[in-house]
Amino acid sequence: MFAGRCGVSLHLKGLQTDYTGFLFSEELGAVIQVRRDSLPEVMHRTRSFGIEGRVMEVGTTNSEDRLDVFADGNLLLSQSRSVCQQAWSSTTWQMQRLRDNPSCADQEYLRITDDLDSGLFCRLAFEYDSEPPQSVNLSLRKPDIAILREQGVNGHLEMAAAFEAAGFTPHDVTMTGILGGLKLDGFKGLAACGGFSFGDVLGAGAGWGNSILYNDLLKDALEMFFFRSDTFGLGVCNGCQLLACIRAIIPGAEHWPDFVRNASEQYEARFIMTEIVSETSILTAGMKGSMIPVPTSHGEGRVKYRRPDDQSMLEKQDQICLRFVDNRGCVTERYPLNPNGSPQGATGFTTRDGRFTIMMPHPERVFLTNSNSWHSGQWGKYSPWIKLFQNARNWVG
């Protein structure tokens, strides 16, 4: 009832007055929801398994967003779902106020009473191929992309899978490999993956970034890659933090922000709404105005601009490409729909020419429809996020 924001009407029959013992039993059990016309089949199956005496019809859903409890036809209790849910959540709320940022705790608690919140949705401003191609041209060489990782990075496999699905040949590339002589000359793309490089001991992505900036071989190799006109890159989560840390060697990234501890003061792993607000990035071409849910998993994702004019310059140059929105489609700073408290919901940025893009959410985790905890029934094998990676492939040519 709470998770689905769905009203429930309980109908208790033949219990005399032992309603409390029935409703608050701590024995193992389960409540399942079935269509009314399927109920005879369900009861038939309980008889075939010899458990008909342990299964009973207890109620129905209702459209009033209320909990109604009837006993032999008499109404015992009628209460709104939000009041019940706030009572249920009150202890957690008070604990959260002591443990976390109390303002964030209050925002999440008050959201229970938002009766107009209709939940996750998907609104696309583009058409995409949601099914895999039927044939493959084996004579067409697939461009190589470097899937960057460092000690503690854990998102390289799904990143490689997403780019491979879009027509790239992914290669596992480590900092040790580059130090050992691996050249980036043959790569068209570079993807820095999510995780916890060096355990985030020096801050989000800082250890990884400084290991590049203070090593001439690594710094020169990556700087040469960034300054080539035929290359592109994507940094997600820890990779986003990394590229922001080394912005000085990425052309057109001078106004990118830092990413600091979430306003909630906690690690946030959620499946929430985002809006693509710019087509400057080569990855978001044709996607502006689309609103798509996506997972986030980070403890230090709050945007912090380093200079007073950074935000205005990024907005002026259309370099903010992704923002958190609420379930009505409005840009939000409210927790938990904005899980880290970034100003104006900003959570994705690109360079002036759009070749290099960073974002805190994880589209690579949900490029397959069945990886999404919620999805539209109109999606096929691939979710709309596959277009990010297809755009990269189309740009390379």
Name which of 133-142, 298-307, 373-382 the model is least confident about: 133-142
41 band by pLDDT with thresholds 50, 70 and 90: very high
As a whole number, the mean pLDDT across the chain is 94
Higher pLDDT, 71 or 96: 96
Residue 138 has a pLDDT of 55
Residue 17 has pLDDT above 80, yes or no: no
Q: Residues for the chain: how many in total?
A: 397
Residue 97 has pLDDT above 70, yes or no: yes
73, 77, 82, 85: CA torsion to nearest 10: -110
Scanning 16-73, the segments in alpha helix (DSSP H) are: 19-23, 39-48
Residue 342 has a pLDDT of 98
Residue 14 has pLDDT above 90, yes or no: no
306 band by pLDDT with thresholds 50, 70 and 90: very high
Name which of 110-114, 232-236, 262-266 the model is least confident about: 110-114
Scanning the chain, the segments in alpha helix (DSSP H) are: 19-23, 39-48, 81-99, 102-110, 156-165, 175-179, 206-213, 216-227, 238-245, 310-316, 386-396
Residue at 211: amino acid letter: S
> Coil, helix or strand for 295?
strand
Q: Give me the residues paired with residue 295 across strands.
A: 271
Note whether 12 and 72 are within 8 A (CB).
Answer: yes
213, 214, 215, 220: CA torsion to nearest 10: 40
137 band by pLDDT with thresholds 50, 70 and 90: low
Higher pLDDT, 282 or 137: 282
Structure tokens at 59: 């109620």
Residue 280 has a pLDDT of 98
Percent of the chain with pLDDT over 70: 97
Residue 4 has a pLDDT of 86
Give 44's Cβ-side CA count (13 Å radius): 5
d(CA 282, CA 272): 23
Catalytic residue among 156, 255, 298, 362: 362
Residue 201 has a pLDDT of 81
Residue 20 has a pLDDT of 76
Residue 184 main-chain phi, psi, to 5 deg: -95, 5
> Coil, helix or strand for 197?
helix
Residues 6+ apart with CB under 8 A from 116: 328
Task: Let me know if 362 is a catalytic residue.
Answer: yes
Residue 277, phi-psi category: left (phi > 0), alpha (psi -120 to 50), beta (remainder): alpha
Residue 139 has a pLDDT of 53
Tokens 């209790």 appear where? 77
Pairing of strands 356-359, 302-304: unpaired
Q: Residue 131 CB: number of other CB atoms within 10 A? A: 10
Q: Give me the residues paired with residue 292 across strands.
A: 274
Residue 65 has pLDDT above 70, yes or no: yes
Residue 286 has a pLDDT of 97
Structure tokens at 36: 């009314």
Residues 6+ apart with CB under 8 A from 188: 143, 144, 145, 168, 230, 231, 232, 396
Residue 356 main-chain phi, psi, to 5 deg: -125, 130
pLDDT in tens, 208-223: 999 999 999 999 999 9
In this prediction, residues 320-333 reach a mean pLDDT of 97
In this prediction, residues 139-148 reach a mean pLDDT of 88
Catalytic residue among 150, 275, 300, 364: 364
Q: Give me the residues paired with residue 331 across strands.
A: 325
Residue 134 has a pLDDT of 53
d(CA 392, CA 25): 56
d(CA 256, CA 236): 14
d(CA 192, CA 367): 17
In this prediction, residues 170-180 reach a mean pLDDT of 97
Residue 16 has pLDDT above 90, yes or no: no
Domain ranges of the chain: 7-81, 144-396
Structure tokens at 202: 């020096």
Percent of the chain with pLDDT over 90: 83
C-beta contacts of 99-102 below 8 A and 24+ residues apart:
99/266, 100/264, 100/265, 100/266, 101/263, 101/264, 101/265
CA dihedral sign of residues 58, 60, 61, 67: negative
Report residue 22 CA to chain centroid gap. Answer: 39
Residue 228 has a pLDDT of 97
Residue 362 has a pLDDT of 98
Residue 36 has a pLDDT of 93
Residue 203 main-chain phi, psi, to 5 deg: 110, 165
Catalytic residue among 104, 193, 237, 240: 237
Residue 44 has a pLDDT of 95
The CATH number assigned to the domain with range 144-396 reads 3.40.50.880
In this prediction, residues 166-174 reach a mean pLDDT of 96
Question: How far, in Å, are 218, 222, 280, 344 from residue 182 at the CA level?
Answer: 10, 12, 31, 41
